[in-house]
Structure 1
Amino acid sequence: MVPILLLLTLASVDAERDAPLPERAYAEVVSELESRRHAFSTRWHQPGAERMALRDEARATVLDAITRHLMPAWYGTPWEFYGDSQTPRTGSIACGYFVSTVLRDAGFRVERTQMAQQHAEYIVKALAPPKKIWRFRNRPVSGVVDRVRRAGEGLYVVGLDYHVGFLWNDSARVWMCHASYLGEATVVCEDALTSPAMVSRYHVVGKLLENRMMDAWLEGQVLPVFIPPGQEPTD
């Protein structure tokens, strides 16, 4: 039997050109990806496993699933400040919930609600290694996009003054994929250079799917939220 991920037509990054996947297909994609995660995990724990190559293979699988299947399924879902839908095109979703829900559905063990309600800076810190986090103050959007281009093809998370979303460098263009509160106020994937939501005094960008994040995916480990020093819970 051919895996469902291979049967689905690749979704366009342009929400206006291609319709999102139906709800049933989305659930199947999530289920199939979880099955593939378990298969990767089994290989990961085998004696003599070539872990570097296996991690790279898993990274490519996750990147394809997120950018070609999971995110496009959400295109057109209405944005609302308190939106917390878990089903594409049903109800509404806020920007933080879009990020945490897509990551959860990609197989990452994240605290969906807690992460979604955090400041964007903390979301970035929870997901990206310190050396792959870049901050920009009072810089033009072109400078931010150029840095992502130079960092290479892949998926990033971007935090702004009052917003958070994904940046996707597909090697040809950098896309801003987010639950937009502007314009039609829906989930979109648009050119980051011209996205109105990218206009911000502050940008913090972190590269996703780096080794720690992928190791957590392979081992089924939780990616804890970032807790600022001094705010740790006490018994």
Structure 2
Amino acid sequence: MRKLGQFFILFTTVLISCKSQEKEKVEKIVVEKNQPKVHKIENLQEFVLTEDKTRTYQQIRSTVLEQKRNLLARKQFDSLSQFFETALLHRIIPQWEGTVWSFEGHTSIPKKGEIACGYFISTTLKHIGFNINRYQLAQQGPVNEAKTLALENKVIEVFDHETDKIIQKIKEVLPEGIHFIGFDQGHVGYILKKKGELYLIHSNYLDGKVGIEPVHKSTVFASFFEFYLVELSTNKQLLEKWIKNEEIIVKK
């Protein structure tokens, strides 16, 4: 009788344990099933608007400038952030994907000639209608480029010795959108925050071409520990100067 009782206790314990594990397994499957899938951006062509796929670069530029003039004429300044992001990220930048990097490169035509990191920034901004000297901007160091685009706003400085901590800090200080990033004294690019993820868009001197890559996988990003950030698509002062075609003075 005593052995029978021990067997019953053992059997009950095993049964409860199995059911508990089964329940945890089911709950885990349900949780994983309900988690939203985060789409990882792999190339700039994912941003191209359908209507632009058959247009030339000059036609795309003309469309952006025409829309910009219409917004100014109608004084529709409430949607500047979205219009700016669409113009830069979805119309102009994707056309430059694959353009060859060169330290001295300053082409103004995508995929023809070569483009340095600074000229990639200044040229794409010029082509969406900024009244700025693209040569002077490109020839500045990352700090002065940041100060120029920040206008009277404060440049966000992030410094740490660990890449993971830097990435976390940037996620905390930057809003969703596309922004400027300067790397110490050696490099510049755009940084995109989309659905909480960070992407680097730049003329990549390691890959030798313009492209996009997740920040946490970027060898270039991991090579630096001091960064200068400037909001672009959420910088109201900068956007107003852009839409009104007011000159942006390059700080030297």
TM range (shorter): 0.7 to 0.9
Structure 2 gap ranges (5+): 1-39
Larger radius of gyration: 2
Structure 1 gap ranges (5+): 1-11, 45-53, 228-235
Tell which deviates more after alignment, 209-218 or 90-99.
209-218
| Paired residue type of 2:148 | A
SS of 2:105's partner is coil
| Paired residue type of 1:187 | V
CA distance in 2, matches of 1:92, 1:85: 6
The equivalent residue for 1:165 is 189
Residue 96, structure 1, aligned to residue 124, structure 2: no
Residue 14, structure 1, aligned to residue 42, structure 2: yes
Task: Report how many residues are paired.
Answer: 206
Q: Pick from 134, 155, 163: which aligns with 2:178?
A: 155
Deviations 1:166-210 (CA, angstroms, capped at 9, x unpaired): 00112242110000100x310011101211111213211111131
What are the equivalent positions in structure 2 for 1:45-60 lying under 5 Å apart?
54-60=76-82
SS of 1:205's partner is strand
Contact 1:136 1:144 in 2 (8 A): yes
CA pair 139-64 structure 1, distance change in 2 beyond 3 A: farther
Contact 1:145 1:193 in 2 (8 A): yes
Residue 180, structure 1, aligned to residue 211, structure 2: no
The equivalent residue for 2:63 is 32
CA distance in 2, matches of 1:141, 1:67: 26
Contact 1:74 1:88 in 2 (8 A): yes
Deviations 1:3-25 (CA, angstroms, capped at 9, x unpaired): xxxxxxxxx95338769878952
Structure 1 runs of 4+ aligned residues shifted over 2 Å read 12-25, 129-133, 136-151
* Bigger fraction of residues in helix: 2
CA RMSD of aligned residues (A): 2.3
Relative to the length of structure 2, the TM-score reads: 0.75
Relative to the length of structure 1, the TM-score reads: 0.80
CA distance in 2, matches of 1:87, 1:32: 17
Identity %: 25
Contact 2:163 2:225 in 1 (8 A): no
CA distance in 2, matches of 1:19, 1:167: 15
CA distance in 1, matches of 2:121, 2:211: 13
Tell which deviates more after alignment, 95-104 or 138-147.
138-147
SS of 1:220's partner is coil
